[in-house]
Structure 1
Amino acid sequence: MNPKPAPHINVRRVYDPPQPADGTRVLVDRLWPRGLAKEDAHVDEWPKELTPSTELRRWYHGPDGTFDEFRRRYEAELAAPEAAEALDRLRGLAAEGPVTLLTAAKDPAHSHTEVLRGHLGG
């Protein structure tokens, strides 16, 4: 029996031009990116239930926010039924082919996209 291949999960800034290897493009920000027309973004999915809450986002970008604590709080939010269902849907998409998580964050490596990628097995 062949083991299932690990899903291929990309993380990119939504402002970067789409690439053929992107596969399904999923915007994982709660707010639409400033200055970007919807037709230019080439977004296939926008599951807002997977995005950090407004309160969590504001806390993280405030003076007391640390990435480790953000990760812990965000993982608790991802355990909510709506978020868990959306995560399952993304896992299904990733099983079919590449998925690219899109964000407007200037530093995706220290954003919610890395937490999501970990939950998706990428």
Structure 2
Amino acid sequence: MRRIYEPPEPDDGLRVLVDRLWPRGLARDEAHVDQWPKGLTPSTELRKWYHGGGTYEEFRRRYEAELDATEAAGLLDGLRETARKGPVTLLTASKTPEESHARVLADLLKG
């Protein structure tokens, strides 16, 4: 897991953007993104709730519930399978990746 604004590293493996919106000020050819599964991202409503003052613990619980939905569950299973075969780097523009949806996804991929 890393911020998308950081330069790619040789050991990144598959680079997956896990944000619903394209990061501001970043050209697509500079991002080196291999996949952008928007169906894995938190809903707009959940994002707004969290950034409006929600707690990380409750955000995590609600986001994990969203990931149980059919489309997201299939995408998550596919990403898990890919991660079993080699390195996957989750990319986010979040200023605090450790308290973001990227952390939730990273933990779910490990577990």
The 2-side partners of 1:48 and 1:102 are apart by 12
Q: 1:77 aligns with which of 29, 44, 66?
A: 66
TM-score (norm 1): 0.89
Aligned to 2:86: 97
The 2-side partners of 1:38 and 1:111 are apart by 22
Query: Which secondary structure state, in structure 1, belongs to the residue aligned with residue 34 of structure 2?
Result: coil
Between 42-51 and 112-121, report the one with greater CA deviation. 112-121
Aligned to 1:107: 96
The 1-side partners of 2:103 and 2:25 are apart by 24
Query: Which secondary structure state, in structure 1, belongs to the residue aligned with residue 11 of structure 2?
Result: helix
Moved beyond 3 Å, runs of 4+:
none
Residues 74-103 of structure 1: CA distance to partner in whole angstroms, max 9, x if unpaired?
A: 000000010010011111111111000000
Aligned to 1:119: 108
For structure 2, which runs of at least 5 residues remain unmatched after alignment?
A: none
Residues 19-62 of structure 1: CA distance to partner in whole angstroms, max 9, x if unpaired?
A: 00100000000000000000000000000010000010000000
> For the aligned residues, what is the CA RMSD?
0.8
Equivalent positions of 1:1-122 (< 5 A) are: 11-63=1-53, 65-121=54-110
Give the length in aligned residue pairs. Answer: 111
The 2-side partners of 1:58 and 1:83 are apart by 19
Aligned to 1:8: none
The 2-side partners of 1:23 and 1:48 are apart by 19
Q: Could you tell me how far 1:119 is from its partner in structure 2?
A: 1.1
The 1-side partners of 2:24 and 2:106 are apart by 24
